[in-house]
C-alpha cells in the first residue's frame, strides 16, 4: 500500500481529509512530512492546513514513534481518579517527562478522554489498554515492557 493508493480511496472533499490522514497513520505509524505534502497536493490545500488537522488529533502522529509508547488519559473522570499520580509514577520509573520527544526508546503522552471513563484511569501501552490503573499497578505493568 502506498500513500498514493490510500488517497485514491477518497474523493477530493474536505470531509475526507481526516479519514485519509487516519488511514495513512494506521498504515505507516505516522504521517511523514513527505506524505503530508502528498495529502496537501491531493486535497489542494496548504501543508500547514494538513498539519493543523493532523496535530489536532492525539491518534495521528507526524513523527516516527519510539518502540514503547505509553499514553495516559487525563480527561476529567480519569483525573479525579488520580491519573496524574499514575503519570508522575511513570515519569519517575522511566526518567522521562510526559510530552517529551527526546527519548528514542520511549514516549509518554497525556491524551484526552477515550470514552472509557467508568474504567479509568486508562493507560495504553503500544495500543494495549489497561483500566483502573493505579501508580503501583502502572509500575507492575511497566515491568513487563522493560
Q: Which residues contact ligand FES (rule: CB under 6 A)?
A: 73, 75-78, 113-114, 116-117, 120, 122
Q: Are 108 and 101 in contact (CB under 8 A)?
A: no
CB of 10 or CB of 130, closer to ligand FES: 130
CB of 20 or CB of 78, closer to ligand FES: 78
User: In this structure, what C-alpha cell is assigned to residue 18?
Assistant: 481526516
- Look up cell 495529502; give the residue: 39
Q: Which of 10, 127, 129, 2 is nearest to 59 (CA)?
A: 127
CB of 7 or CB of 125, closer to ligand FES: 125
CB of 104 or CB of 118, closer to ligand FES: 118
Question: Nearest distance from residue 137's CB to ligand FES, in Å?
Answer: 16
Q: Which of 84, 100, 86, 97 is nearest to 140 (CA)?
A: 86
Question: Nearest distance from residue 128's CB to ligand FES, in Å?
Answer: 15
Question: Nearest distance from residue 9's CB to ligand FES, in Å?
Answer: 31
> Closest CB to ligand FES belongs to which residue?
75
Amino acid at each position: 500500500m502506498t500513500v498514493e493508493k490510500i488517497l485514491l480511496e477518497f474523493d477530493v472533499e474536505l470531509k475526507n481529509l481526516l479519514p485519509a490522514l487516519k488511514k495513512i497513520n494506521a498504515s505507516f505509524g505516522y504521517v511523514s512530512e513527505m506524505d503530508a505534502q502528498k495529502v496537501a497536493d491531493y486535497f489542494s490545500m496548504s501543508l500547514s492546513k494538513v498539519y493543523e488537522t493532523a496535530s489536532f488529533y492525539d491518534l495521528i502522529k507526524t513523527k516516527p514513534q519510539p518502540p514503547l509508547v505509553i499514553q495516559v488519559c487525563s480527561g476529567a473522570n480519569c483525573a479525579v481518579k488520580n491519573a496524574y499520580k499514575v503519570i508522575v509514577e511513570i515519569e519517575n520509573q522511566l526518567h522521562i517527562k510526559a510530552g517529551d520527544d527526546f527519548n528514542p526508546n520511549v514516549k509518554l503522552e497525556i491524551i484526552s478522554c477515550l470514552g472509557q471513563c467508568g474504567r479509568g484511569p486508562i493507560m495504553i501501552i503500544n495500543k494495549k489498554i489497561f483500566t483502573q490503573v493505579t501508580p503501583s499497578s502502572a509500575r507492575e505493568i511497566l515491568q513487563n515492557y522493560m
